[in-house]
């Protein structure tokens, strides 16, 4: 049953995130085709989505602890379908902004709830393996999604959004019929038993070290991701096609690490050691960007980020879910909020640093993750002990 449920969650997460992957290369072109959006408005459109995820992920997560996981996953999927379709039909900036905000609200119910479902069905000592499989689904969706989106955009810039809506709708029907509930009524929380938490208090609580790892890694990578294209265009004259292939290599490496290696590595060395190696890969990767000067050296450098991301996200998620005193839903919501907060702040810092000097975002990323690695190594012994191991 455990393997069957994990396969179902893998397919649901892959199809759910495929919709996001499809629109990644298209969104800026779709927005600018109406001729009304300036760079600030484009940034606001992107930031509004992440802000809504930051605000609503813990709320949906807490609700899933009380009503079960499946209703929230279904809400996210039908919300995806509606907001993607309506965004594709929009013909003004403010229509797009409205649907982007609503999309951020409903999408916040999806990813953390799937993560909580994995925590429900896997015992603590096997949780990293389950998280790795789900992480691989996300990685694969961002490998294939942009390719599909690029092909559909040649027909019409609206088609990728319609395709994303269709995929979400199909996944909704599939989840209704095939996905079992993982949180039985007797294990659900109520007002009397629920222990409340929020992302801000999580950063300073007993698991604050782990939440800060997720925030720092997300922030540093988002800052790099925002400026990397500018860097290779400005300094080496590379084009968007080459950039796409670089990220394709990164996505494949990340998916392989998460799906095929994490379980074995954690079983042999433990989550903390693999998490530390992942942060070391990130630190080296930021510095290696500045020593690269051709397609293959950049692709190899991004592979460090792909492998590091696979190690960090799965092990950090497993370590938090093993130790939390809150419900798995609100815990997963807080973790998702850390990722969203990093994606809000990171591009702002990265863009500002790039304006100061083109090397600064990468030195900043190396310093930030390197310091976080040192802090983790010095403070990990103070983390609460895992429960149920």
Q: What is the CATH number of the domain that holds 243?
A: 1.20.1250.20
Q: Which residues of 191-221 are buried (b: 16+ CB within 10 A; e: fewer)?
A: eeeeeebebeebbebebebbbbbbbbbbbbb
Domain assignment present for residue 115? The answer is yes
Query: How far, in Å, CA of 89 to CA of 70, rounded?
Result: 29
Instruction: Answer yes or no: is 387 within a domain.
Output: no
The structural domain count of the chain equals 1
| pTM summary value | 0.79
Residue 388 lies in a domain: no
Range of the domain at 282: 2-382
389 assigned to some structural domain: no
Per-residue pLDDT of the chain (389 residues; tens, 9 = 90+): 567 778 888 888 887 777 767 776 676 667 666 655 565 676 677 778 888 888 898 888 888 888 899 999 999 999 989 998 998 898 888 888 899 899 889 988 888 888 888 888 888 777 777 887 887 887 778 778 777 887 887 888 888 888 888 988 988 998 898 888 888 888 877 654 445 556 778 888 889 999 999 999 999 998 887 788 788 888 888 876 677 778 778 878 877 777 778 878 888 999 999 999 999 999 999 999 999 999 899 988 988 998 898 889 889 988 998 888 878 888 888 888 898 899 888 888 888 898 889 999 999 999 999 999 999 999 999 999 887 55
362 in a domain, yes or no?
yes
> How far apart are alpha carbons 173 and 179 in whole angstroms?
10
Examine residue 194 and state whether it is found in any structural domain, yes or no.
Answer: yes
Q: Within a domain: residue 53?
A: yes
The answer to whether 9 and 114 have CB atoms below 8 angstroms apart is: yes
Q: Residue 275 falls within a domain, yes or no?
A: yes
């Amino acid at each position: 049953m455990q393997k069957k449920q994990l396969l179902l969650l893998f397919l649901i997460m892959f199809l759910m995130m495929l919709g996001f992957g499809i629109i990644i290369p298209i969104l800026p072109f779709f927005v600018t085709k109406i001729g009304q959006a300036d760079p600030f408005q484009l940034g606001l459109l992107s930031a509004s989505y992440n802000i809504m995820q930051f605000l609503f992920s813990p709320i949906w997560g807490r609700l899933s602890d009380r009503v079960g996981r499946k209703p929230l996953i279904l809400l996210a999927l039908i919300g995806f379908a509606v907001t993607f379709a309506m965004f594709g039909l929009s013909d003004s900036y403010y229509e797009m902004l409205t649907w982007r905000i609503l999309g951020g609200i409903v999408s916040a119910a999806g990813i953390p709830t799937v993560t909580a479902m994995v925590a429900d069905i896997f015992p603590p000592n096997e949780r990293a393996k389950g998280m790795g499989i789900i992480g691989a689904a996300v990685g694969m969706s961002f490998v294939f999604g942009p390719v599909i989106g690029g092909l559909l955009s040649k027909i019409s810039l609206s088609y990728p959004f319609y395709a994303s809506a269709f995929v979400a709708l199909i996944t909704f029907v599939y989840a209704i019929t095939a996905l079992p509930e993982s949180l039985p009524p007797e294990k659900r929380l109520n007002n009397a038993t629920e222990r409340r938490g929020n992302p801000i208090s999580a950063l300073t609580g007993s698991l604050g070290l782990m939440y800060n790892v997720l925030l720092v890694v997300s922030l540093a990578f988002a800052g790099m991701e925002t400026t990397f294209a500018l860097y290779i265009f400005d300094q080496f004259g590379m084009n968007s096609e080459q950039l796409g292939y670089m990220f394709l290599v990164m996505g494949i490496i990340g998916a392989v690490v998460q799906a095929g290696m994490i379980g074995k590595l954690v079983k042999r060395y433990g989550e903390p050691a693999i998490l530390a190696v992942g942060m070391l890969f990130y630190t080296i990767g930021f510095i290696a960007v500045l020593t690269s000067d051709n397609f293959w050296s950049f692709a190899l450098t991004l592979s460090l980020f792909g492998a590091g991301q696979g190690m960090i996200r799965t092990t950090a998620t497993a370590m938090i879910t093993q130790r939390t005193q809150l419900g798995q839903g609100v815990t997963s919501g807080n973790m998702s909020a850390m990722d969203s907060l990093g994606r809000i702040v990171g591009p702002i810092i990265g863009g500002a640093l790039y304006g100061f000097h083109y090397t600064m975002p990468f030195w900043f990323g190396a310093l930030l993750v390197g310091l976080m690695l040192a802090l983790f190594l010095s403070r990990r012994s103070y983390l609460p002990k895992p429960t149920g191991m």
